[in-house]
Amino acid sequence: MKIAFLGLGNMGYPMAGHLAEKFSDEYAIAVFNRSHEKALAWQAKHPGWALTLSEAVADADVILMCLGRDEDVLSIVESAAFYQQLKPGAIVIDHTTTSAQLSQHVCAFLQPYQAAFIDAPVSGGVDGANNACLSAMVGGDAAIIDKVKPLLAAYCQQITHIGGVGSGQLCKMVNQICIAGVLSGLSEGLTFAKAQGIDANKVLTAISQGAAQSWQMQNRGQTMLERQFDFGFAIEWFIKDLGYCLAQAQATQTPLPATASTFEQFQAIAESAARLDTSALITYYDGLSHS
């Protein structure tokens, strides 16, 4: 069996690495990324670098993608170097966070080539990818998903079949909506603590064992106080994700007032903080308190 992995970004690189470490003795693994810098880094640790997209896809039984946006997925899937090399019966798995409509489009596009499609966005960030403890939200045929679960388990500790194609992306939208609310509340709360003159470190200690506790508080609370943001999930990507959420909400006439407000807050700091972790949202509140 041959496995192809397309996209060696901050998430894709460690995910593909876990696949190689677990399955390279059993399966042929080919990875592809447009950046040759990534190629050199990969070749230093793992076998299976493909110089071209067509070389990676040719004869692959399973093709995994971890890219950036809807447009990036389309540029790969609708490339002749991709679809002309598809093996009948191949399974294409997209870990990219995209719109649900994109997943449905790709699924329909692949049908004439006898390839199955699964949308499987993940949550857990770079730390989750590095430590092989991501959560995958999966949309597609149950029988197909069962076939590839052992591969996904190389870097996912939780694999949940949500429903049909596109439902994985809808679940990821729920995930991002919840994160937006938590980040906004945590930023606002810590800013309030500072303004009242109480020790914010003690505040974190006190509330982190109560009902306000969250992943963001546990993993980002202290660094937010220290204004350290040069790691984690970049704001520019979160803005992209929230854009998909708001577009889906508008299409289904679903009000998301809190998410829309947080989206605007991120946009307000994006020019200077696009590459910083999403926890840098607290700097938006810094600006409010100084105005």
Give the mean model confidence (pLDDT) for residues 253-272.
98
What does the pLDDT read at residue 42?
86
- In this prediction, residues 210-228 reach a mean pLDDT of 97
| 139-153 confidence digits (pLDDT tens) | 999 999 999 999 999
Residue 290 confidence (pLDDT): 63
Residue 152's pLDDT is: 98
149 in catalytic set: no
Query: 40 pLDDT band (50/70/90 cuts)?
Result: confident
Q: How far apart are CA 26 and CA 33, in angstroms?
A: 23
Q: What percent of the chain is predicted at pLDDT more than 90? A: 91
Tell which wins on pLDDT, 43 or 282.
282
Q: How confident is the model at residue 288 (pLDDT cuts 50, 70, 90)?
A: confident
φ/ψ bin of 151: left (φ > 0), alpha (ψ from -120 to 50), beta (otherwise):
alpha
Which letter, b or e, does each residue of 78-109 get, where b requires 16 or more Cβ atoms within 10 Å of its Cβ?
eeeebbebbbeebbbbbbbbbbbebbbbbbeb
Beta bridge partners of 30: 4
Residue of 172, 194, 202, 240 with catalytic role: 172
With 90 as the cut, is the pLDDT of residue 44 above it?
no
pLDDT band at 289 (very low <50, low <70, confident <90, very high): low
Q: Name the residue among 175, 157, 160, 148 with its Cα closest to residue 245.
A: 175
**pLDDT average, residue stretch 65-80:** 98
Residue 139's Cα: distance from chain center in Å? 15
Which whole number is the average pLDDT over 237-245? 98
Residue whose pair of structure tokens reads 């009242």 in the numeric block: 196
> What residue type is assigned to position 286 of the chain?
D
Angle between helices 167-195 and 100-110 (to 10 degrees): 160
Give the bridge partners for 29, in sequence order.
3
- The confidence band for 226, taking pLDDT boundaries of 50, 70 and 90, is very high
**Which residue type is seen at 31?**
V
Question: Mean pLDDT, to the nearest integer, of 81-99?
Answer: 98
pLDDT band at 234 (very low <50, low <70, confident <90, very high): very high
Domains of the chain by range and CATH? 2-163 (3.40.50.720), 170-290 (1.10.1040.10)
Question: Is residue 48 over pLDDT 90?
Answer: no
pLDDT tens for 104-139 read: 999 999 999 999 999 999 999 999 999 999 999 999
Six token digits for residue 185: 């509340």
Mean of pLDDT values over 223-239: 96
* 99 closest CA partner among 180, 12, 170: 170
pTM (predicted TM-score): 0.95
* 8 Å CB contact between 92 and 118: yes
Q: Is the pLDDT of residue 291 over 70?
A: no
Mean pLDDT, the chain, whole residue set: 96
Token digits of residue 245: 């959420």
The whole-angstrom separation of Cα 177 and Cα 96 is 17
Structure letter (DSSP) for residue 216: H
Q: Which residues pair with 137 in a beta bridge?
A: 160
Tell me the C-alpha distance between 183 and 259, whole Å. Answer: 11
User: Cα separation of 246 and 241, whole Å?
Assistant: 9
Quote the pLDDT of residue 31: 96
